[in-house]
Amino acid sequence: MTSLDGYKRYLAVVQSQLVDALADHVSVAVVTAAHLIADRIQDDRVIYAFGASHAGLLVQDQFYRAGGLVPIQPILPSSLMLNVTPITATSTLEQTRGIAQEILADVPIGKGDLLLIVSVSGRNAVPVEMCTLAQQRGATVVALTNITYSSSVKGRGVPRLFEVADVVIDLPGMAGDAVVALGEGVPPVGPTSSAVGAAILHGLMVETATVLIERGTIPPVFASANLDDSAAWNDRWIETYRERLNYL
């Protein structure tokens, strides 16, 4: 039996980064974003969300989720998801300028809407152009991105996401994402952005629901479909948003 040394080292870093997510600059951005999202929900709007490749997993975990907000409208183009073969095509495509315009062509995001973009490195053309195009339509953009990572690399023919988004939630982490060093000649292992990013996004949605409660508005949230008494509650929200959410 092993000592679990690698396991413990990895979880220690994740734990440390979760503490970093409570830093003042992160907390202020989360509160700001929560109020902006709450504003849109009270205005009967949906909340758009985009991420490519593994960042797309964080977006997928935000819709039709037990304990999550109902009006999350995911933008998940199949060519940038992880079921593409060869998977390396997603990296190439995410770096290609002009793709974002094609993706947004059929998305009715406009003035007064909000788009949440997840991009760990924040350097690739697609998420950055998604941001600027949405802003040109009059939408507000909230970004979850690792400023430390992004500051250590150059944008690929575009600014970096943290330089253009309206609200930037700093995702704690290291350049390259992986955090556990194994020794000379071997790349580090153990990416943290999925674990820490998911916690931040769920925390953001909890903060949004809290803001709505404080304003006297019942937050539109899903209860677990595996609870015996959840169907009536969920059906209420499904009927409310059925015509506006592409996953219903």
Q: What is the pTM of this model?
A: 0.96
C-alpha torsion sign, points 202, 207, 213, 217:
negative
Give 111: exposed, middle or buried? Use CB within 10 Å, 0-12, 13-18, 19+.
exposed
At the topology level of CATH, where does 24-237 sit? Rossmann fold (3.40.50)
- The tens-digit pLDDT sequence of the chain (248 residues) is 567 899 999 999 999 999 999 999 999 999 999 999 999 999 999 999 999 999 999 999 999 999 999 999 999 999 999 998 999 999 998 999 999 999 999 999 999 999 999 999 999 999 999 999 999 999 999 999 999 999 999 888 889 999 999 999 999 999 999 999 998 999 999 999 999 999 999 999 999 999 999 999 999 999 999 999 999 999 999 999 999 999 88
Q: Is 7 helix (H, G, I), strand (E, B) or coil?
A: helix
Q: Nearest to residue 177, comparing CAs of 200, 150, 144, 198?
A: 150
The CA distance from 248 to 238, in Å, is 7
CB atoms closer than 10 angstroms to residue 82? 12
Q: Is 151 helix (H, G, I), strand (E, B) or coil?
A: helix
Q: Are 168 and 143 in contact (CB under 8 A)?
A: yes
